Amino acid sequence: MPTLQTVQPYVEQLFDDSEVQKQLARATANLRGAKSRANSAKSKKKALKDPTLRRRLVNTGQAVVAAGVAIKHGPEKKAKRSRRGWLVALAAVGAGAYVATNEDARTKLLGLIGQNDSATATEPAGA
């Protein structure tokens, strides 16, 4: 039974890890394509010289190796996304809306950034 216990985590990953499943599906698709291509060849000698068949077999091998690596390393944990960016953006939008709707805040802000607040507060003489 120790063999079953050592193999169990790997078998669970076969069923749980989507990356492993994707690589194994890729390997089986390439292998099926290679088999159909080899069966349609006129002779076995020509089948061995077929570059498309060789490429499919190489792709199958690469997919199997990638699945083995994915099983060995386990599923990748997704990075936890920070909410700080959204919070800063929301605060900036809120501050912009406040300044746009509040005239006192708008004149104070324009005074702070160096614009003349009397030029924006006065109306033209002809109006």
Q: Which of 5, 8, 2 is nearest to 71 (CA)?
A: 8
Give the pLDDT of residue 127.
Answer: 46
Please list the ranges in the chain whose pLDDT falls under 50: 117, 127
CA dist 101 and 92 (Å) reads 14
Q: Which of 64, 65, 71, 63 is nearest to 9 (CA)?
A: 71
How does pLDDT run across 64-82, given as a tens digit for each residue?
A: 888 888 877 766 666 677 7
CA dist 42 and 26 (Å) reads 27
Give the pLDDT of residue 93.
Answer: 92
Could you give the residue ranges of the DSSP H alpha helices within the chain?
2-16, 18-40, 44-49, 51-73, 84-101, 103-112, 117-121
Domain segments of the chain: what residues? 2-73, 84-121
Give the pLDDT of residue 47.
Answer: 81
How does pLDDT run across 31-45, given as a tens digit for each residue?
A: 898 888 888 888 888
Q: What is the DSSP letter of 81?
A: P
Alpha carbon of residue 24 to chain centroid: 20
